[in-house]
Amino acid sequence: MLKFYCAPWSRASTVFWLLEELAQPYEIEIVDIRAPGGVPESYREIQPNKKVPAIEHDGTIVTERAAICIYLADTFPEAGLAPPIGDGRRAAYLTRLVYCDSVFDPAVAARAQGWQYVSNNFSFGLFDDMVTNLEKLLSRQPYAVGESFTAADTQLAGGINFTMNILKVLPALAVFKDYVARATDRPAYRRYAAKEAELAQHVTPPPFAGRG
């Protein structure tokens, strides 16, 4: 059995989308990360920092989005969302997945908080360098790993969509808009979005709820 620990409109959202792409049965466990009393201490047994997402698959717990995506796409290869080991695209695939967690996400968070710093002070480098890198990448190919959609696109397109259209931190470049439109024009994305909207009615709303 596959259990998904999540909170609507959080960093778990992109894994939620991936689960719909896999077309495998899964159970949802809502973790209300915004509840006034906080997340119960018991959840540390699943995720040590009481964050989402996390998954539990047949007794195996996996945390951190990149690790979850790699695990799931490799566990269910019939979905065709990951280049297999030995495929020349595998290195780019792993690079994009880890980049979303180790560079994109912290660089966006730093910009949203108004941090001023030099590149060498933090492992993720500068926000502007990240934007330039992604602009170049998505200008020369339609998806994160080339010509075809992979699990890396759930993370990259999901991250760009949220930080550009909801948080309004990432610049609304035409190449980003086109990529998001292309990547999200999928039945699995529409299923995920409908399910997340339904779940959101049952938890503490995020601070950006209702914003355009």
Among the listed residues 39, 24, 30, the one whose alpha carbon sits nearest the alpha carbon of residue 8:
30
- Mean pLDDT over 29-47 rounds to 95
pLDDT of residue 211: 32
| Predicted model pTM | 0.95
The answer to whether domain 2-80+189-200 and domain 90-186 are alike in fold is no
d(C-alpha 122, C-alpha 102), whole Å: 11
Phi, psi of 6 (to 5 degrees): -150, 170
Asked if residues 189 and 20 have their Cβ atoms less than 8 Å apart, the reply is yes
Check: CB of residue 7 under 8 Å from CB of residue 34.
yes
The domain locations on the chain are 2-80+189-200, 90-186
- Render pLDDT for 108-153 as a digit per residue (tens, 0 to 9): 999 999 999 999 999 999 999 999 999 999 999 999 999 999 999 9
pLDDT score recorded for residue 28: 98
d(CA 158, CA 102) in angstroms, rounded, equals 15
Give me 99's structure tokens.
């980049």
CATH code for the structural domain at 90-186: 1.20.1050.10
CATH number of the domain at 2-80+189-200, out of 3.40.30.10, 1.10.3720.10, 1.20.1250.20, 3.40.1280.10? 3.40.30.10
